[in-house]
Amino acid sequence: MDDNLVIGIFVLIAAIIGFRFGIAVSIFEIAAGIIAGNYLGVGVSEWLNKFAEVGSLLLIFLAGSDIDVVFLRRHAKPVGWLGSLSFLAPFFSVMLYGYFIGHWDRDKLLLISIASSSTSVAVVYPVLRDSGLLKVELGKFLLLVAFLPDFLITVALFAFFTNFGIQTIIVIIALIVLIIFLRYASFRFLRRYGETSSEIKVRFIFVVLFALAFISEKGNLHASLAVFIMGIVVSELMQEEKATDKNLRAIAFSIFVPMFYFKAGLLFSIPKMLENVTMILTLILIAFGSKFAALYLAGKPYITENTWYGAILMNARLTFGTIASTYGLTHGIIDQKFFSVLISVIILSSAIALLLAGKPKVDLPVHH
C-alpha cells in the first residue's frame, strides 16, 4: 500500500479513536506512527519532514497564544513557583540519576533531563476544556502552570545547545527587533481586514512564523523560543480574531500537527524499547514521582483539595518533550536507543496521568 495513503488513513483513525474515548489525539497519532514504522515499513519522506517542522512551529505558537495574559499578571507568583517546580523537580532528579548511575555525557545528560521535565499543553488543554474547568479559576490556573515547563524547555534548549558567537548575538538582536516589529505589524495587518478575510490573516501568520524560523536558523538557534514568545505577545490579538484563530487551529490540528506526532512515532523502535524496559520504568518512576511530589507538597496553598488532580495532570507529557527528544536525535545528541526510551517515557507518563487524575473537586458554572 502507498505510504501516503497509509499515513492519511492512520491519522484519521487516530483522530476518531481519540474523539471516541475523549483522550488526547496526539497519543494515538504517535502510536499510529509506531505501528506504521515498525510493522508496515513506512519511512520519513521529505514532505513529511517539512509538514512535521511546520506542525511543531504551529504547536508552539498556539501554545503561546493561548495564554490569558490578564489572569497571568494576577497570579504570576504562584504560577511561576509551581510552574518552575514542575520543570526543575524532574530535571534535577533525572540529572542525578543520569550522572551517578547512567554515567551519561554532558549533552546527553542535559537533553534527557530536559525532555523528561515537560508538561504537555496539547494534553492538558483539551482535558481542562472538555471538563469545563477553563470556565473557572482552577482550570485557568492549571493551564498557566502547564505552560511554564514548556517555556523553560525552550529556554533550556536555547541555553545549553546554542554555540554563541558574533553571528548568534546579531541574530538574537535581530529576533528581538523582529518580534517587536511583527507585533506592531500583526495588530495593524489583522485589524485592517474584516472577519471575512481570515484566510489572508492565516497566511500572514504563516509568513510571520517562517520569518522567525528563517532568522533563528541563521544564528543556529532553535526557532521554538522566538515562536513561543511571538505567540504570547499576540495572544490578546488572537483572542479578538476568533475566526482567524479558529481557521489556524483547524489547519494546524488537521494537517500539520498530526504529521509532527506521526513522524515522532515513525522514529520510534519497538525492539529498542523492549531492550530498555528497565531504564524506561526507572525514568518514569523518577520523572513522574518527583514532579508529582513537588507539586503535591507545594500546591496545597493554591489548589487546596485539588492538589492530587493538579499534580497528576501536570505529568501528562507529549508536545515539548517530543520536540526536545526529536531535536536531540536529529542533532546527534542522543541515538535511536535513547530516543525510543524518551518517547516511551513520554507516552506512558501521559497515559498514566490521564488514568489516575480522576475528576477535580470543583463546582462548575451551570448554564440555563
DSSP string of 211-225, one letter each residue: HHHHHHHHTT--THH
Decide if 212 contacts 227 (C-beta within 8 A). yes
Domain assignment of residue 182, yes or no: yes
Domain assignment of residue 366, yes or no: no
Decide if 125 contacts 59 (C-beta within 8 A). no
Decide if 221 contacts 171 (C-beta within 8 A). yes
Helix (H, G, I), strand (E, B) or coil at 366: coil
Look at residue 367 in the predicted model and tell me its pLDDT.
Answer: 41
How many domains does the chain contain in total?
Answer: 1
Domain assignment of residue 364, yes or no: no
* Euclidean distance between CA atoms 29 and 41, whole angstroms: 16
Decide if 114 contacts 153 (C-beta within 8 A). yes
Domain assignment of residue 219, yes or no: yes
Decide if 360 contacts 131 (C-beta within 8 A). yes
User: Domain of 29: which CATH number?
Assistant: 1.20.1530.20
Q: Taking CA 359 as the corner, what is the angle to CA 69 and CA 254, rounded to the nearest 5 degrees?
A: 60
42: containing domain: 3-356
Look at residue 225 in the predicted model and tell me its pLDDT.
Answer: 80
Domain assignment of residue 368, yes or no: no
Q: Taking CA 330 as the corner, what is the angle to CA 219 and CA 29, rounded to the nearest 5 degrees?
A: 120
**Assigned C-alpha cell, 46:** 521529505
Look at residue 133 in the predicted model and tell me its pLDDT.
Answer: 84
Look at residue 366 in the predicted model and tell me its pLDDT.
Answer: 41
- Give me the residue label for grid cell 501568520: 205
Look at residue 196 in the predicted model and tell me its pLDDT.
Answer: 60
* Euclidean distance between CA atoms 333 and 190, whole angstroms: 40
Domain assignment of residue 106, yes or no: yes
Domain assignment of residue 362, yes or no: no
Look at residue 8 in the predicted model and tell me its pLDDT.
Answer: 93
Domain assignment of residue 88, yes or no: yes
Letter for the amino acid at 288?
F
User: With a cut of 70, which residues of the chain have pLDDT below it?
Assistant: 1, 193-196, 362-368
